[in-house]
Structure 1
Amino acid sequence: MTSIDHAKQSVRRRVWDLLEREGAAPTGVHGHIPDFTGKEDAAARLAELDVWKQARVIKCNPDRAQLPVRVRALKEGKLLYMAVPRLATPKPFYLLDPAVLTVPFETAATSTRAPEIAPTVGPDDMRPVDLIVCGSVAISRRDGVRVGKGAGYSDLEIALLTEAGLVTTNTAIATTIHQTQLLDEELPHASHDFTVDLAITPIEVLAYRPSRERPPGIIGKSLRRDQLDSIPVLHGTSWHTP
């Protein structure tokens, strides 16, 4: 692990401990995107924003904390892409189209049911994304720097879509989190990490001006051997770093 990795892990442990201590997330949150108290209120605040109202295509993570976001998207007729957990299939996104779903949206949007009812698609089959919603462990209140749970999948998902031209610098990235996950400090940040444009809690919305350039796509030197071995969409491609 690099010094940045160690620093991130320290932040994660601190936030996970705090969430459990304050009862803001269920016990056992360590190692996960926190399923925080008030997630429905955060989703409702997100839905009040123009960036949400104008979006027709949304990409969202599959974690339980963002389930209310996914359900709202479907109820409002938005096309929803949800990552296959661990990007474990050759086509690493589920396509949830509310116009053709035959089960309740509350069911379709779960990570357990989506694999049974939604087709998988790859970047070649996808439409440009208007809004990305991600889960987070911690967000810097100062500049929108994000710390995830440590697996690196969210960064890779956005990088893949950027490589395909489906995500650009104009695509907003939002996260829904608990107030406890907002830290008034600088957070560790690596070259392959993205920052968020919006952080929405149950009680407030924070908007950020980009303080760093987004990664231009997949950064080859940042890929781990286990990622290259286990993520099919990365197979057979040489990722070169300029």
Structure 2
Amino acid sequence: MHSTMNSTLESTDEEKAGRWSGRNVDKDALRREIWERLEETGVNVGPVWSRISNWVGADEAAWRLSQLPVWKQAKIVKCNPDPPQIPVRLRALYDGKIVYVPVPEFGSGDLPWVKLDPEKLSRDGVQFELAATSQGSVQVGEKLSFEALEPIDLAVCGCVAVTRAGGRTGKGGGFADLELGLFRDLGKITPETPIVTTVHSSMVVDDDRLPIMEHDSLLHWIVTEKEVIETKTMRSQAGGVIWELVLPDQFEEIWFLKQLKEDILARKAGQAAE
């Protein structure tokens, strides 16, 4: 009996540590702290562990984001597929913006991106409320490759913790930084493309809690249910993908990554030879 109870506790602890725990001990501890706080304060909406957790006030943060000039000027928005950003995707569609949404964790063997065109959705009689959900977007959107995306005006990332200096961490899988690096390699975003997030105010932590790594992309704007934070970061953004920092399990789990790496490196070699 004692052995069984220990096994159950160990399983629970492993689940709470997150699927990608062990890559960065400090970030692991910070994520756990944030997830625990969401549960303890009761501001979570649904489960919190090992994910971009949903929270009370996400719709208010989306409204605040929609008032910013960088939002109003954007015609094409990239947004993560997670629940707290459903209000962001919904506002983008109602504001007439094209929305690119990645298939969760880039899928497995299908094209990794979904294009939501509000005009087409309206013609097809598709409710924006359905299209704004993760499953709904995959169901009704147009599937695309990384290369087929048009240049992006605004990039929205899901986060578990952020700093006022623009630092961020997600759930630990490395998808957002890899995604943004690929965008830069493919010319889909520029150093001036705003990178933003919506988070609960309890997810904003002191700058020294999130050391900025070589491959990290910095946030320009952080929007909570209470305030808008312009990070005004002076640090330059990461360039394209730093391939030597991509982990073996990322190459194994992200089905298209090896081929896309070959294509990008071949393109760069060709440009250098011209």
TM-score range relative to shorter protein:
over 0.9
Aligned twin of 1:152:
174
Aligned-CA RMSD value: 1.9
Identity %: 38
From 86, 90, 96, give the equivalent of 2:116: 96
**In 1: Cα distance, 2:87 partner to 2:175 partner:** 21
Q: State the SS of the aligned residue for 2:24.
A: helix
TM-score, normalisation: structure 2: 0.82
Query: What CA deviation, in whole Å up to 9, does each residue of 1:63-102 have, x standing for no partner?
Result: 0000000000011110000011111245311000011113
Cα offset, 1:129, TM superposition: 0.3
From 169, 175, 195, give the equivalent of 1:173: 195
**In 1: Cα distance, 2:149 partner to 2:181 partner:** 14
- Please list every run of at least 4 consecutive aligned residues from structure 1 whose deviation after the TM superposition is greater than 4 angstroms: 1-4
**In 1: Cα distance, 2:175 partner to 2:203 partner:** 20
Aligned twin of 1:26:
45
Structure 1 unmatched ranges of 5 or more: none
Whether contact under 8 Å (2:82, 2:158) holds in the other structure is yes
1 or 2, which has the higher helix percentage?
2
Matched, 1:163 2:182: no
Residue 179 of structure 1 aligns with an amino acid whose one-letter code is S
Pairwise mapping of residues 99-138 of structure 1 onto structure 2 (< 5 A)?
99-101=119-121, 102=124, 103-138=126-161
Whether contact under 8 Å (1:81, 1:95) holds in the other structure is yes
Quick check: 157-166 or 46-55, which moved more?
157-166
Larger radius of gyration: 2
Query: Cα distance 1:25–1:86, how it changes in 2: closer, same or farther (>3 A)?
Result: same
Whether contact under 8 Å (1:4, 1:190) holds in the other structure is no
**In 2: Cα distance, 1:185 partner to 1:155 partner:** 19
Aligned length: 239
Structure 2 unmatched ranges of 5 or more: 1-19, 266-274
Pairwise mapping of residues 1-242 of structure 1 onto structure 2 (< 5 A)?
5-26=24-45, 28-88=47-107, 89=109, 91-101=111-121, 102=124, 103-141=126-164, 143-186=165-208, 187-236=210-259, 237-238=261-262
Whether contact under 8 Å (2:167, 2:207) holds in the other structure is no
Higher relative contact order (CA 8 A, sep 6+): 1
